[in-house]
Amino acid sequence: VCTGFFDDETETPDDYTDMLTAWAARKVPLICANPDLVVERGHRMIPCAGAMAAYYDRLGGETRIAGKPHQPIYDASIAAAREVRGEFPLSRVVAIGDGMPTDVRGALDYGLDLLYISHGIHAREYVVDGHTDEAALGAFLAREQASPRWWMPRLV
């Protein structure tokens, strides 16, 4: 089960080549508990478990992905919330995220409203001099076929 790197401050997937190659040869499945490829830490992008799973896949290993954007994580989250709050319509749920392949795709595919965080992992696509260029953001979202209900620079 992979939740991330031993030292995500300094390592890359290449640092795990020997271990992963040996596992792939033994046909050991890698269960990725967080499919994010990168996460933002301060002003840096840090590799995440999804990057390790993608590398393992390229090495010929079998990967099993749990979490966003896959439906079971949303089913489980909604079920847990309903245990605490009682029944509610999905229209009362808002997902918050910055990652197109995980947060955004999962929420929109599940039918949830989305608050997109523009200064996250895709900021280089449309942030100029520290500000979100709304036209560039719109073009990026159109290319990604994503239509969040709202956006804001940072979740603070």
- 19's tokens: 């271990």
Closest listed residue to residue 13, CA positions, set 42, 31, 41, 38: 38
Instruction: Give the number of domains in the chain.
Output: 2
* pLDDT of res. 129: 94
**Contact (CB, 8 A) for 67 and 34:** yes
* pLDDT of res. 44: 87
* pLDDT of res. 124: 93
* pLDDT of res. 156: 83
Is residue 79 in a domain?
A: no
Is residue 1 in a domain?
A: no
* pLDDT of res. 155: 87
* pLDDT of res. 66: 87
Is residue 8 in a domain?
A: no
Is residue 44 in a domain?
A: yes
Domain that holds residue 46: 13-65
Where the chain has pLDDT below 70, the residues are: none
* pLDDT of res. 22: 98
φ, ψ for residue 114, nearest 5 deg: -130, 135
- Do 37 and 91 have their domain in common? no
**Contact (CB, 8 A) for 66 and 73:** yes
- Do 94 and 135 have their domain in common? yes
Is residue 73 in a domain?
A: no
- Do 95 and 141 have their domain in common? yes
Burial of 53 (0-12, 13-18, 19+ CB in 10 A): buried
- Do 61 and 90 have their domain in common? no
Cis ω on the peptide bond leading into residue 29 (within 30° of 0)?
no
Cα distance from N-terminal residue to C-terminal residue, the chain: 32
SS3 (DSSP) at 48: coil
